[in-house]
A and B are shown apart, each in its own frame.
Chain A
């Protein structure tokens, strides 16, 4: 009997909350804490596993969401382990294979991770998976011991009744013969042992601290060829010709071929270094007639000029530009500001890469830190002209993403597949991006210009708010358009302002799309990355004009009768309290506040700064977050800390600029990430809640920039309307 057959005999499938669930008996066991090794033993059946139990009692949880640092390996595992009453230390994890139905993100209807949805969409599904398995184990134990299920208790992977006990592995053979309950009872919050507990150790703690964690960048398969791509230096340029004479002198250089997409040359070599070296020696000529040849100086100027025209689109039905203008024109006080925010690169620590490996049976393995199997899988199958069932996606830890890995075109996986096909489709190809490729490669957070006109009454109350956004659409022309564009308005361009929580009378939000060949993309917190900055800095400008305290001013527009507004007010109050908002600061110090709802979560931050010889130092960040039930409080804190750092680094000094269409930033020295010495202490406070959990990967980012800017404005009185902040003459210590 083969392993496959014996396993199949032990499988049970049943529909639970719209998903099939099975538990399987893996004779190999899953012993390694290294995901890549565990995934090797992953199930090949067409069923939908979330939970597997080995004879030694090890529980393996299959994760439909990848791990880019946001903590899903811990979060999804907590959900199953809680209901299963498993032993946290005896749980292994595997990333799910591509299966668009069984492993779909219930928020998107496709397999993929993003939009801070992992816990939110899995909360009931993964708990149900654990509860169903627990019920089976209890039933199996009851039958074995001649008892009733109510006499059985389960704790930390052990099933007990009186003096009898068994670990999960001892019961799994019997349990697997029983039908799974369709609607297992889930625990109530007071029964939680793991959800909400801070002391859980991250599941990726060990292998990410001893060098054994595998990223796609670490993949090496037999006879693998290394490839880098010499891309058009300008977005939209096409290849005319190239010369490889000098490259041929580079040891290890194999070949160079024009990409069928005409936007690059694939350079093949026997090592990464040889590929990088050979690429430098290739001379190429490009046709730039359809390329973006402008400079960001000019592009920015045109964005600002477009702001002065009437918006092409209106994002709110209740108010339009004309109506709101009337309310503002008659106001005794007005605040007017025009903002310009730059292109930003994601720059995840792991430069993009992907390995395409062919097998003798005609199948292909795609080795990738794969964020969106729902897109990558069909894309690769189509490029290679094979059926989807011949394409296996093996997902690795991703060394960050911040949105970069989720492109509609599956850009880098597509490049890898094309480079593989171009070489004949017989040899494995590892495509590697360098940091220079990453910064020059596009898929930037789009540039955005905003104009804000606010009318204030004699009492300093907002009477009207007129907002116009000019930015390039992220989703138009992509498969995401259908879901995210309504009446011509790309939701990702105006989210965070058109649906602002503040109860503002006469708010109109106009949008004019900017069009350019520069590829743009969601960047951690997407539209909120610019709308929150403009909204929250404008709130401070309005509070100042109204001579009101910024905290109280915000609270005036949040009503306790409105649940959403109440939750945002809640985090503002909590942050202000913990930051001792009203307590005077030493001379040369200041604080700023910002609050923003994104991805269903409410976050407020107070940033405290000091100034010495004109140099600003970030001394302290106080953050409060309301994300519903806090599944993993420590992961939530980590995401807030990380989101704050990500937002602050960008806002302080990051921008991608073009000079005659050429990206000016080459590497980290001119796209300087936040460093350890840039930031003081961060304190995160979580609002206790019984609401359904919402995301935390992105919501920490939006308030960080405006909280810092508001602190600096409180100190200097000078509005900060152009980002990054160092463009305004702000220097940091």
Chain B
């Protein structure tokens, strides 16, 4: 089927089988490879993108359901919350292998866009769907707090 998706501010027309999850359209068709495949069952968060500003697992997203939405991938991040998060990630050397980090950042930006001063508990709740096999969790928590303080300043 042919669908038009608005990704990172641009309309993209793709022709794919209708059951193709958004993840594979983003990766294989549009070559936006910052969004990762980790599990395919919405259990790891590596594929997290924003649908109308909210973090969503793209591996379980039907393309028909997002035809009228604004889709943002890690490549399309912009604005002060995104910058604060990415800067904090760099300041604290959060990444290790890095494969899950696009998804972590998309979830963190989603959290801070709604909650400007999250507690540890808020962070745990918002981020527990994003697995990191390198276990960078302690730094993720610290970076979200740091980003919050950068935004407050």
- Name A's B-contacting residues (CB within 8 A): 67-71, 201-202, 204-215, 217-218, 220, 226, 250-252, 271-274, 276-277, 347-351, 397-400, 402, 434-436, 634-635, 638, 641-646, 649, 667-669, 673-677, 679, 681-682
Contacts and interface: CB of A to CB of B under 8 A. Distances in A.
Interface in B48-88: 73-75, 77, 86
A681 B138 contact: yes
Contacts of A436: 40
Contacts of B101: 208-209
A434 B21 CA distance: 15
B136 to A, nearest CB: 7
Contacts of A208: 95, 98, 101
Contacts of A668: 39, 41, 43-44, 131
B99 A400 contact: yes
B24 A209 contact: no
A638 B21 contact: no
Given A273-B21, A399-B98, A676-B140, A649 B41 contact: no
A435 B137 contact: no
Given A349-B38, A676-B128, A677-B124, A215 B105 contact: no
A529 to B, nearest CB: 15
Interface string B7-38: 00000000011011100100111011111111
Nearest to B35: A211
Nearest to B127: A676
Given A209-B105, A668-B44, A220 B17 contact: no
Contacts of A69: 95-98, 134
A397 B136 contact: no
Given A202-B93, A209-B86, A641 B136 contact: yes
A211 B98 contact: no
Given A212-B75, A673-B132, A679-B135, 17 more contacts: A69-B97, A202-B93, A205-B90, A209-B94, A209-B105, A226-B28, A271-B16, A277-B19, A348-B133, A435-B40, A635-B93, A642-B134, A642-B135, A667-B43, A668-B41, A668-B44, A675-B131
Contact of A215 (B20, B94, B99): B99
Given A211-B73, A211-B75, A676-B141, A646 B34 contact: no
Contacts of A646: 133-135
B139 interface: yes
Given A210-B75, A677-B128, A272 B97 contact: no
A674 B137 contact: yes
A192 to B, nearest CB: 19
A349 B99 contact: yes
Contacts of B17: 250-252, 273-274, 277
Query: Chain A interface secondary structure, helix, strand, loop or mixed?
Result: loop
B148 interface: no
B46 A349 contact: yes
Given A210-B74, A434-B40, A673 B131 contact: yes
A668 B127 CA distance: 16
Given A211-B34, A273-B21, A204 B95 contact: yes
B97 A68 contact: yes
B40 A667 contact: yes
A170 B136 CA distance: 41
Contact of A669 (B41, B93, B132): B41
A226 B29 CA distance: 13
A217 B100 CA distance: 13
Interface in B95-151: 95-102, 105, 123-125, 127-128, 130-141
B86 A210 contact: yes
Contact of A211 (B74, B93, B96): B74
B43 A669 contact: yes
A643 B138 CA distance: 12
Nearest to A198: B93
Contacts of B128: 675-677
Of B27, B37, B140, most buried by chain A (CB within 10 Å of CB) is B37
23 contacts: A205-B89, A205-B95, A206-B90, A209-B94, A271-B28, A271-B29, A272-B27, A273-B17, A273-B20, A274-B17, A276-B40, A349-B38, A349-B97, A350-B97, A397-B98, A434-B40, A641-B139, A642-B134, A642-B135, A669-B41, A669-B43, A676-B128, A679-B137
Nearest to B106: A211
Given A209-B90, A251-B17, A634-B93, A218 B33 contact: yes
B97 A210 contact: no
